[in-house]
Structure 1
Amino acid sequence: MEEKHIKYYSHHLDRDVEMLVFGSWGYPILLFPTTLGRYYQAKDMGLIESVKNLVEQGKYKIYCIDSIDADSWYGRHLNPEYRVLNHIQYDKFLTNEVVPYIKHECQVDKIGVAGCSFGGYHAANFAFRHPTQVAYLISMSGAFDIRGFTDGFYDDNVYFNNPIDFMPNEQGWRFGHIKIVLGTSEWDICLDSNLKLSEILNRKGIDHWLDIRGWKKHDWPLWNEMFPDYLSRLL
């Protein structure tokens, strides 16, 4: 399996960022790490190995991106207003730097996004904020209400990065082209969050697959089981 390391300076983030890319061709999946995770986490925790055959067959190309969680939602050293503003810069970094690069390299007009746990939030939030950029969304054990990270602070920037808030007011037809998977389990600490988001999507007429697996915990063995299954069904 081909592996490539990318490091470059982001003008939106004003820092160097790094990414691991797996595969030489295939449909692109932008993969977000879990809470405070780095670009190499998915490799270290076996998630990339779980989809090795699909990557080697040229069906998918996986782009593992860095997070800036420590300076955004998990930046407890910062005023909540600045945590949100830093996340907005991260969104601009994705929208204006990362996604155009991926689309150009893979010659596609839309990409797939995926993530586990807090990475599931990032994937869902990006897909719902930018539906014209996304064809596939895979959230594994994600949570979708960001208000617990803002210490009571709330403004339009929080609203438009909180899927539980803004999706009930969206027009469902805007998301009809996205194949959406919400993966969770009976023992998942984020089960209720997935049930709530699924209910919102149902009310908006947005087709999706809510996959509730039995008696497995919110951890890598569950996600390493889910990810190859979901990718094998998408294309």
Structure 2
Amino acid sequence: MQEQYVKYYSHHLDRDVEMLVYGHWGYPILLFPTTLGRHYQAKDMGLIESVRGLIEAGTFKIYCVDSIDADSWYAKHLPPPLRVLNHMQYDKFLTNELVPKIQQECAVAKIGVAGCSFGGYHAFNFAFRHPEQVAYLLSLSGAFDMRSFLEGHYDDNVYFNNPVDYVPNEQGWRYGHMKIVLGTAEWDICYDANLRMSGILSGKGIDHWLDVRGWQKHDWPLWHQMFPDYLARVF
């Protein structure tokens, strides 16, 4: 399985962003890490190994990108408005720099996005903010309400990055092309969040698959099962 380390300078973030890229060819999946995770997390926690066969076959190319959670949602040392502004710079890095690079490298018009836990939020939020760049969304045990991170602060920037707020006001047809999976389990701490988001999507007429697995917890063993299954079945 081909592994490539990439250090990518972002003008929007004014810093280097590190990535690990897996595969020689295939449909591109941008994979976000969990809370405060780094680009090597998916490898270290066995998630990449769970889809080795699909990568080696040239079916998928997986881009594991760094988060900047420590400077945005989890940056307790910063005032809440700045936390959200930093996240918006990360969104601009993805939208204007990284995703166009991936589209060009893989010769596709739209990519897939995926993530576990807080990475599921990142994947969902990016896909719903930028459906023109995304064809597939896999959110594994994601959460979709960010207000608890901001100590009561709320403004337009929060609204447009808080899916439980803005998705109910979106036009459902904008997402008709997208294959969407919300994965959770009966013992998942994000079970209720996924049921709530599934209800929001259904209310907007947005087709999706809510996959609820039995008697499993919010942890890597669950995601090791989900990720290869979703890649094999949804694409």
Q: Name the TM-score class by shorter chain.
A: over 0.9
> SS of 2:90's equivalent?
helix
Distance 1:162 1:134 in 2: 18
> Does residue 163 of structure 1 match 2:168?
no
Distance 1:175 1:155 in 2: 25
Report Cα offsets for 1:31-88 as digits up to 9, x if no partner: 0000000000000000000000001111100000000000000000000000000000
Distance 1:16 1:27 in 2: 25
Gap runs ≥5 in structure 2: none
Query: In the alignment, which residue of structure 1 is the partner of 2:38?
Result: 38
Question: How far off is 1:234 after superposition?
Answer: 2.0
> SS of 1:109's equivalent?
coil
Question: How far off is 1:8 after superposition?
Answer: 2.5
Query: In the alignment, which residue of structure 1 is the partner of 2:183?
Result: 183
What letter is aligned with 2:74?
Y
Question: How far off is 1:9 after superposition?
Answer: 1.7
What letter is aligned with 1:149?
F
Distance 1:186 1:145 in 2: 20
What letter is aligned with 1:220?
W
Distance 2:220 2:46 in 1: 8
> Matched residues, percent identical?
77
What letter is aligned with 2:172?
G
Mapping 1:101-116, distance limit 5 Å = 101-116=101-116
Query: In the alignment, which residue of structure 1 is the partner of 2:224?
Result: 224
> SS of 1:78's equivalent?
coil
> SS of 2:67's equivalent?
coil
Question: How far off is 1:138 after superposition?
Answer: 0.1
Query: In the alignment, which residue of structure 1 is the partner of 2:124?
Result: 124
Distance 1:84 1:52 in 2: 35
TM-score, structure 2 normalization = 0.99
Report Cα offsets for 1:115-148 as digits up to 9, x if no partner: 0000000000000000010000000000000101
What letter is aligned with 2:139?
S
> SS of 2:161's equivalent?
coil
Distance 1:226 1:130 in 2: 24
Question: How far off is 1:13 after superposition?
Answer: 0.6
Distance 2:124 2:8 in 1: 25
What letter is aligned with 2:109?
D
Distance 1:97 1:19 in 2: 14
Query: In the alignment, which residue of structure 2 is the partner of 1:74?
Result: 74
Gap runs ≥5 in structure 1: none
What letter is aligned with 1:182?
L
What letter is aligned with 1:29?
I
Distance 2:121 2:217 in 1: 18
What letter is aligned with 2:167?
M
Mapping 1:14-53, distance limit 5 Å = 14-53=14-53
Distance 1:59 1:171 in 2: 32
> SS of 1:4's equivalent?
strand
TM-score, structure 1 normalization = 0.99
> SS of 1:148's equivalent?
helix
Distance 1:97 1:213 in 2: 36
